[in-house]
Structure formats: structure tokens, C-alpha cells
Structure 1
Amino acid sequence: MRLAQGEIVAIIRGVAAEDVSAIARVLLDEGISWMEVSLSEEEMGLACIRTLAAAFGDSLQLGVGTVTTAAQADKAIEAGARYIITPGWDRELTRYVLAKGVDIFPGVFTPGEVMQALADGVDVVKLFPAGSLGTDFVKQLFGPFPRLQLMAVGGINRSNLQDFYAAGCRSFGIGSDLVPRGATGEQLEQIQKNAAEYMKLVQTLKK
């Protein structure tokens, strides 16, 4: 799976299965098709993945995040997730997922972890928490890793996304600033507004 330049990945966390389809529809209508359902609340997350896979099929780039074990990866893939995102670097888990023919965007924090991920054939790494590491850190990573593909996650919002894009990040995982944690159908108007603002911002970056 290939992330486009400036791609927004909506992080859905703590959302009930009965609310998730309406939220996904709003995001899709605004042009956000990449969605990561977090397993921070595992059963709730798996229920959302099953619901979204059944409702939207291939029109949604459906993934799973906060995966820390092979068992979680297996459950999520069986439920319909098409890619795996981890909060941190785990070489055994990364190799396990890749061996299944499934894409993985592993979390990295240090140059050493970036090196290991690239050596194992990972295409895109998730820099987390990007907001805490800052844009200077991002810029310096491209010295030893000029072809690095970075997804910035953690503390990324409408006020700093442009700076991280300028530093070299080409995709962004956005959590509560896009879809509030535990969002319900009552927040669809706000989610729509958030999504529209993010997509407008992304379009300006690409010019």
C-alpha cells in the first residue's frame, strides 16, 4: 500500500462500533480514506474494524494501530485490517507481519530503530511522538537516511503540520484533533469541519 504525498491517516480511538460507520462516511466525503482504528481498547477496536470492513470494503484504506503483539495483529487482519501500525519498534513483530504479506508502519524513535526498520524492508516508518521530537530532529534524520519515508504521529495538528511537511514528513497520523477520542454521532458536524480544514491544508502543501 502506498501513502500519497500529504496523506492524512485518521486515528479512530475509543469509538463504539455503532458510531464508527457514520464517522467514517464523513471522513470519506471530505477525502480522507486512510483510517487507523486503535486497539488501545482492543475489543472495541476490533468491533469497529469488522464494522468498517463490512460497510466500506475497498473504498476505505482500513488499518489498525496500537498493535503490540502478533496475536493482536492476527485478530485485526482477520477482522479486515489491511495494514498494521505499532506504537514502537519491535523487530520480531515487524518481521512477523511482513512475512504474512501485510504492510506495517512500525513506530520508531531513534536513528537506530530507523536503521533496523529499513534493513528489514519497511517502506514507511511512523515517527512517534513526532511533536515532542520536533522538526529539527526530522530534518537531521534525512542526512543518513535521504530516502526515508516518514509518517509523523503524536502531537501533529493544524498548527504544526505544515512545519513537519517542510521538514520532510510526507504523511500524518492525526488523532483527537481530527476525530475526538470516544467520538459519537453527535460530533459528526465537528469532525466534518476538522476534516475539511485538514484537507484544505494538505492541498496548500502540495502546490
Structure 2
Amino acid sequence: MEPPLGTSFDELFARAPVMAILRGFSVERTVEIATAAWDLGIDCVEVPIQTPSAVAALRATVEAATARGKTVGAGTIISYEHVRQAADAGAAFTVSPGIDPEIVRRSLEAGLPILPGVATASEIQLAQRLGLDWVKAFPAALLGSAWFTSMHGPFPGIRFAATGGIDANNAQEFLKAGARVVALGSSLADPSSLPAIADLLRSEGTAKANS
């Protein structure tokens, strides 16, 4: 199974190795935090859609993103209905907590690149067999940064997004260990965390420019 033509995760994460996950906020608050993330330089936002209000938040955030040329995906995709809701809302990609071949197939058929969750070598092998080269390592904080270094040996072609328990204080540890992207959640809603996130983005931007 080959990924669809069009936007890839390589393109989505080209400018900043950080994704925002906005779970459980009101429609207005989701758009507000997404706007703050975009202002910081984070291009990609994920809105998990486990409730009707979350689907509404996804729609509103997609609308706001369109005006700014930013990207919004739908998270916690675990059913065919979620794939349909994501596509109908205008999401650019999907994210799942685990890897389900049928959900992968449905998402790709809908034209949505998918970032499935993995935590084992067997799950990474399955992702490769499905034609994927990007996966979400979840829960990253419990797996530990050394997990990424270890998995790069047998799977050099896989790109990892570290999700779960990541904040501005430990993000660089995971990036240095081999994660290509880190996902930040609740810290984006805390104004006191924003300077540290801005510093992270600046330092990673400088490192990319010098590489």
C-alpha cells in the first residue's frame, strides 16, 4: 500500500520539528491556542476528535489555519467514522494512538497521510509493510529517549514523532535521541511555558540551518 500523492509529513514538518496537540479545549480556546502556536513558529496542529465538540473545534481550527497557510490534522483516529469526520472537516492528516491496517487504508484512501502510534519493533515493521515511513512513538516519555536511539538501528528509514509526556524541558532530549518531531500538548496552554517553547524552536532552527 503506497501513501497518496500530495502533502507528505516530510513537507509538513520541514520548517519546525514540533507539533501542537490541542485536546479537550472549547472551540474558541482551541483556535486561540492554535494561533499562539502558529505565532511561535509551529506549523502543524493536531486536534483530537473524540467528541462532537472536538469535531467542531477541528473545523474552526482548519478554517483559521487556511487563512494563515498552516496545517491542521485530526487525532485519536480509531474508527472509520473518525476518518470520515476528519476528511469532512478539512483535516490535512490523521493521527492514531495505535496502528490498525484498516484505519491506515481508509485514511490513505481519503487522501489523508496518517501517523499511526507504535511502541514496539513489530509495530514499526507493520507500518513499513503498509508503506509508511513516519510513525508516532507513543507514549514517548514512558518509552524513554533511548528507545529512539535503539530503534534507529534496525529501522533507519523510519521517521519518528515523539508524543506523550513531552514538554519544552525534555523535547531536545528526544530530538537528540533521534525523534524527528516532538508533540507538545498542555504546555502550549500555559503562558509561562511559551518562552521556553520559543527558545526550543529557535535552537532547533539554528541547528537545522547549520547542519
Shorter-chain TM-score category?
0.7 to 0.9
Moved over 6 A (4+): none
Counterpart of 2:127 (choices 105, 109, 117) is 117
Name 2:62's counterpart in structure 1: 53
Q: How does 1:149-168 map to 2 (within 5 A)?
A: 149-168=159-178
Name 2:85's counterpart in structure 1: 75
- TM-score computed with the length of structure 2 as normaliser: 0.85
Letter in 2 for 1:39: I
Aligned-pair CA distance for 1:159: 2.2
Out of 116-125 and 192-201, give the one that drifted further.
Answer: 192-201
Q: How does 1:118-197 map to 2 (within 5 A)?
A: 118-179=128-189, 189-190=191-192, 192-193=194-195, 195-197=197-199
Aligned-pair CA distance for 1:73: 1.2
Letter in 1 for 2:155: F
Give CA-to-partner distance per residue, 1:116-158, whole Å, 9 cap, x none: 1011111210000111111222111111111110000011122
Name 1:203's counterpart in structure 2: 205
Name 2:116's counterpart in structure 1: 106
Letter in 2 for 1:120: L
Please tell me the root mean square deviation across aligned C-alpha atoms, in Å.
Answer: 1.9
Aligned-pair CA distance for 1:8: 0.8
Aligned-pair CA distance for 1:205: 4.3
User: Relative contact order (C-alpha < 8 Å, sep 6+): which is higher?
Assistant: 1
**For the Cα contact (< 8 Å) 1:139–1:167, is it kept in 2?**
yes
Distance in 1, Cα, partners of 2:171 & 2:207: 9
- TM-score computed with the length of structure 1 as normaliser: 0.87
**For the Cα contact (< 8 Å) 1:177–1:194, is it kept in 2?**
no
Distance in 2, Cα, partners of 1:72 & 1:85: 10
**For the Cα contact (< 8 Å) 1:35–1:63, is it kept in 2?**
yes
Aligned-pair CA distance for 1:198: 3.5
Give CA-to-partner distance per residue, 1:61-120, whole Å, 9 cap, x none: 110111111111111110111100001111111122112221000001110000010111
Distance in 1, Cα, partners of 2:102 & 2:163: 22
Matched, 1:23 2:25: no
Letter in 1 for 2:112: V
Give CA-to-partner distance per residue, 1:148-171, whole Å, 9 cap, x none: 100000111222222211111111
- Could you list the runs of 5+ residues in structure 1 that have no partner in the other structure? 181-188
Out of 148-157 and 16-25, give the one that drifted further.
Answer: 16-25
Identity %: 33
> For the structure 1 residues 5 and 117, does the alpha-carbon distance in structure 2 shift closer, same or farther, using more than 3 Å as the test?
farther
**For the Cα contact (< 8 Å) 1:21–1:52, is it kept in 2?**
yes
- Could you list the runs of 5+ residues in structure 2 that have no partner in the other structure? 1-7
**For the Cα contact (< 8 Å) 1:151–1:170, is it kept in 2?**
yes
> For the structure 1 residues 6 and 163, does the alpha-carbon distance in structure 2 shift closer, same or farther, using more than 3 Å as the test?
farther
Matched, 1:43 2:55: no
